[in-house]
C-alpha cells in the first residue's frame, strides 16, 4: 500500500488531512521526532524531511505541494483537477504557502543557519516576523475576500496547508487574534472530522 510518512508538528499534516478528506487508500506512518534523520528513513528520503509518499513500486514523492497534487489527481473528484478554475487557484495558493510563507519560517526554526552571531540571529528573527506579519495579513485578506469560510471560496487542499500555518503562528510573537478570518478558519478546520482524524493519526491535538 502507498505510505505517507509524517511527524508531529510538521507540514506533513496537510497531505495527512487530504488523505482523510479523500478517504484515499494511503497508510499513515507517523514517526517520532528525530526518526527522520535515521538511516531507515534516509533510505526512503535522503533529504531527511517529511512528508514523503512511498509507492508500492518503491518510488518516492516528496514535497507537500507535489504530494497534494498527486492525491488530487489520483483520488480527488470534482474540483481538484488542474484543468478547473479551483484546481488552478489551488496550485497557485499552495505554491505561495509552501515556497514563500513556509520558506520564511526558516528564519524562525533555524536562525543559526542564516547568521552566526547571537545579534545576527536576533536580527534574522526580527525580519522573519515582519515578513510573516505581511504574509498572514495577505492570507487573511484573501480568505475574507473569498467569503471567509474556505481560502478559495470552496474547500480545497489550500485549506490543509493554511491550517498548518495557523498552527505555527502560535510559536511566534505574532497573534492569531490579529487575523480574525484566519482564526475562524482554524476553528472551522478543527471542527472537521477529517482534520481531527489526521491530528489523531499524527499524535497532535487541536489548538482551539
Closest CA to 62 of 110, 15, 1: 15
CB 126 within 8 A of CB 172: no
Residue tagged 504574509 (cell numbers):
135
What is the average per-residue pLDDT within 156-162? 97
* Residue range 14-28, pLDDT digits in tens: 999 999 999 999 999
Angle between helices 118-145 and 180-190 in degrees, nearest 10:
80
* Whole-number pLDDT of residue 82: 66
* Residue range 119-130, pLDDT digits in tens: 999 999 999 999
What is the average per-residue pLDDT within 78-84? 63
* Whole-number pLDDT of residue 189: 98
Task: Look at the alpha carbons of 168, 136, 185, 14 in this order and tell me if their dihedral is positive or negative.
Answer: negative
Cα 52 to chain centroid, rounded = 13
**Cell numbers linked to 25:** 487508500
Domains and CATH numbers, the chain: 2-78 (3.40.30.10), 85-192 (1.20.1050.10)
Does the pLDDT of residue 13 top 70, yes or no? yes
What is the average per-residue pLDDT within 142-151? 97
Amino acid at each position: 500500500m502507498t505510505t505517507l510518512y509524517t511527524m508531529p508538528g510538521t507540514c506533513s499534516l496537510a497531505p495527512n488531512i487530504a488523505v482523510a478528506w479523500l478517504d484515499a487508500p494511503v497508510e499513515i506512518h507517523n514517526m517520532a521526532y528525530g526518526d527522520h534523520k535515521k538511516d531507515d528513513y534516509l533510505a526512503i528520503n535522503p533529504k531527511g524531511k517529511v512528508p514523503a509518499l512511498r509507492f508500492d513500486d518503491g518510488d518516492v514523492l516528496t514535497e507537500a505541494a507535489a504530494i497534494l497534487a498527486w492525491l488530487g489527481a489520483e483520488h480527488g473528484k470534482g474540483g481538484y483537477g488542474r484543468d478547473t478554475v479551483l484546481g488552478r487557484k489551488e496550485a497557485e495558493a499552495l505554491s505561495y504557502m509552501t515556497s514563500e510563507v513556509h520558506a520564511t519560517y526558516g528564519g524562525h526554526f533555524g536562525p543559526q543557519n542564516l547568521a552566526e552571531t547571537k545579534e545576527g540571529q536576533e536580527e534574522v528573527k526580527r525580519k522573519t516576523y515582519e515578513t510573516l506579519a505581511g504574509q498572514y495579513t495577505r492570507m487573511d485578506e484573501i480568505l475574507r475576500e473569498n467569503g471567509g469560510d474556505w481560502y478559495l471560496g470552496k474547500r480545497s487542499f489550500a485549506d490543509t496547508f493554511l491550517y498548518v500555518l495557523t498552527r505555527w503562528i502560535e510559536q511566534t510573537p505574532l497573534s492569531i487574534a490579529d487575523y480574525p478570518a484566519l482564526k475562524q478558519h482554524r476553528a472551522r478546520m478543527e471542527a472537521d472530522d477529517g482534520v481531527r482524524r489526521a491530528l489523531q493519526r499524527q499524535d497532535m491535538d487541536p489548538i482551539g
